[in-house]
Amino acid sequence: MVTRTGRKITGGRYKKSRKKKAYERQGQRRIVKVRDKEKRKNLRARGGNIKTVLYSAKYVNVVDEKKAIKLEIKRVLETPSNRFLARQGIITKGAIIETEKGKVKITNRPSQEGIVNGIFIKE
């Protein structure tokens, strides 16, 4: 006997107790790319809060010995989560990018916070 998904062993089907509410539904996937212009949007979050999301980035804030500096992003070198993201120039948390002062590791989630932060990698 082949089991059918969403069915009981008797053949009856499982019924959902309720549908998902608006705040439980998944939002659209946001991809942050390296571009010449920075693009941000303000979205309404739950409770009337405002979430700033980033779609394209040109600069990264790098903390170096208790001092933050703003550097231009040249390209994405590697992404530990998925190697294909680096080829497309997509920035995620943990990605290693190249700047004019050296390699930088991204420490935040740019698609959630609307800004790119990072730290220098010791070589």
Query: Taking the complete model, does pTM exceed 0.75, yes or no?
Result: yes
* Structural domains of the chain, count: 1
Domain that holds residue 86: 33-120
Any idea what the CATH number is for the domain that residue 62 is in?
A: 3.10.290.70
8-39: pLDDT as tens digits: 888 899 988 999 998 888 878 889 999 999 99
Residue 11 exposed, middle or buried by CB count within 10 Å (0-12, 13-18, 19+): exposed
For residue 11, being part of any structural domain is answered with no
68-94: pLDDT as tens digits: 999 999 999 999 989 899 999 999 999
Distance CA(6)–CA(55), nearest Å, equals: 37
For residue 1, being part of any structural domain is answered with no
Mean pLDDT in the chain? 91
For residue 74, being part of any structural domain is answered with yes
For residue 22, being part of any structural domain is answered with no
For residue 65, being part of any structural domain is answered with yes
For residue 87, being part of any structural domain is answered with yes
For residue 49, being part of any structural domain is answered with yes
Q: What is the pLDDT of residue 3?
A: 66
Q: What is the pLDDT of residue 62?
A: 96
